[in-house]
Homo-oligomer: A and B are copies of this chain.
Amino acid sequence: MEHALSSSETLSLLSLTLASFATIANTFHGDGEPLIASLAFSGIAFSSSYSMIRWLGPTFMKAGLKGKDMSKSHKKEIPETMGAVCAVVYLLIITVFVPFPFYKDFVIATSGGGNRDVVLETYTVESGRFLHRFPHSKLASYLSAIMSLQSVCILGLGDDLFDIRWRHKFFIPGIASIPILIVYFVDFGVTQVVIPKPLQPYLGSLFELGPLYYIYMAAIAIFCPNSINILAGINGIEVSQSIVIALLLVLNDCLYLFAPYPHPATDSHLFSLYMLLPFLGVSFALWWHNWYPAKVFVGDTYCYFAGMVFAIVGILGHFSKTLLLLFIPQIFNFIYSAPQLFRIIACPRHRLPRFNARTGFLEASVTPWPQPPKSYIAISLNVLHRLHLVKVVTNEQGVIVESSNFTILNLWLVWFGPRREDRLATEILSMQVVCGLLGLFVRHRLALWIFEKDNLP
């Protein structure tokens, strides 16, 4: 890879950055429109991650953060863990952005036509300036979100550096989610679930989950990062699936934007947009370098970080169930992977599809069975084979000698045959888009049949 930016790249990135800065400066003249500012910050996020990914490539390789692409004929080493650059750029940008949604509150309190005197009279210097006027709970959402993100980034870096064992790292996003759970507890505390109409005669219209609801939210925080981390193994798939989920979430947020303003859900969805737009900025920059043929790898840091962004907007934006509708391929992949993840059947170190150097195509990778599997496993594998959910190879005695690995990527290759890496990625992503749009449709249209009302304006 050429590490210096070409002159046309420099020119484009520079113009984007300047335009973004000008836009941000301009928001100060009006009401400090945070949505415009957020878009501009996303521009800066894109151009700075784009250039830093290029510039830092050699530094990362020198520090030992490099890997070989196993699905290429010419296996040269490329930088690893480049998602960490995106995560750090994102964290810096979002930290600088935090004051913008509060611009109005600042202006009212410090200069708004005579208000200043009133404020200074009412509250003394010792007790603070506008303690009860400021939307603290909103600020706490932002701070706790950034905190949780930083925690998973530190975890991700640790994982990329030291290869933490699966059973150790699995629950750490749960710990990282404590700040957002506290904020949820303090600010919303809603732990009831709405019961679908057919069940209402038995359970009432609301069902109190209580502490279980917090366990449910922690489970979401654990699931999202880990599920993205295991739907991996071919160029670009980690970033692309995250971009698809983010775009679908943005679409869902936009549905709420045109409501007459103090609609209760508007603020949640604005919060979600402010978190997702810069995320898309850094992700597109990474995608550019990670798509087939990859010039950099993303590393676990990116997967954890992306998953946590989604968990945070889902939990603090009160749409964790909608979020799960957008994770259908990941949920399927997770359940499908479970037999290998929980070591019911053998799990090799890497389960990515096998590269056939002769054809240049990817094929489903397999786990060999040096000893014949136990009878109940053999029966299950044969049933799954009949259902076309796994490919089993038997020897002349009918004993299983190998079975395809349990990931959605391998299953796709079993179903549709070998294909090139980028085609596989594109097809999986198209499937994901279709599932996601269907999920949103179910959420907003079909929900009316089983719930009493949709919360769309």
Contact = CB atoms under 8 A, between A and B. Distances in A.
Nearest to A190: B125
Interface string A139-155: 11001101100110110
Determine the main DSSP class of A at the interface with B.
helix
Contacts of A144: 143
A111 to B, nearest CB: 13
Q: Assembly of this chain: how many copies?
A: 2
Interface stretch (A21-29, A129-137, A227-235, A433-441): A129-137
A157 B60 CA distance: 13
A88 interface: yes
A76 B336 CA distance: 49
A264 B146 contact: no
Contacts of A99: 182
B59 A134 contact: no
A192 interface: yes
Contacts of A139: 136, 140, 182-183, 186
Contacts of A186: 102, 129-130, 134, 136, 139
A279 B207 CA distance: 43
Contact of A151 (B91, B126, B188): B91
Contacts of A187: 128, 131
Contact of A189 (B96, B102, B129, B162): B129
Contacts of A212: none
Interface residues of A, number: 53
Counting chain B CB atoms within 10 Å of each CB, which of A99, A139, A158 scores highest?
A139
A411 B348 CA distance: 59
Interface string A161-190: 110000000000001001100110111111
Given A96-B175, A128-B190, A129-B189, 20 more contacts: A56-B162, A59-B162, A60-B162, A65-B161, A88-B158, A91-B151, A95-B151, A98-B179, A126-B190, A128-B187, A136-B139, A136-B140, A143-B143, A143-B144, A146-B179, A147-B147, A150-B150, A153-B154, A154-B154, A157-B157
Interface of A: 56, 59-60, 63-65, 88, 91-92, 95-96, 98-99, 102, 106, 125-132, 134, 136-137, 139-140, 143-144, 146-147, 150-151, 153-154, 157-158, 161-162, 175, 178-179, 182-183, 185-190, 192, 264
Return the 3 tightest CB-CB contacts between A and B, nearest first: A136-B136, A129-B189, A150-B150
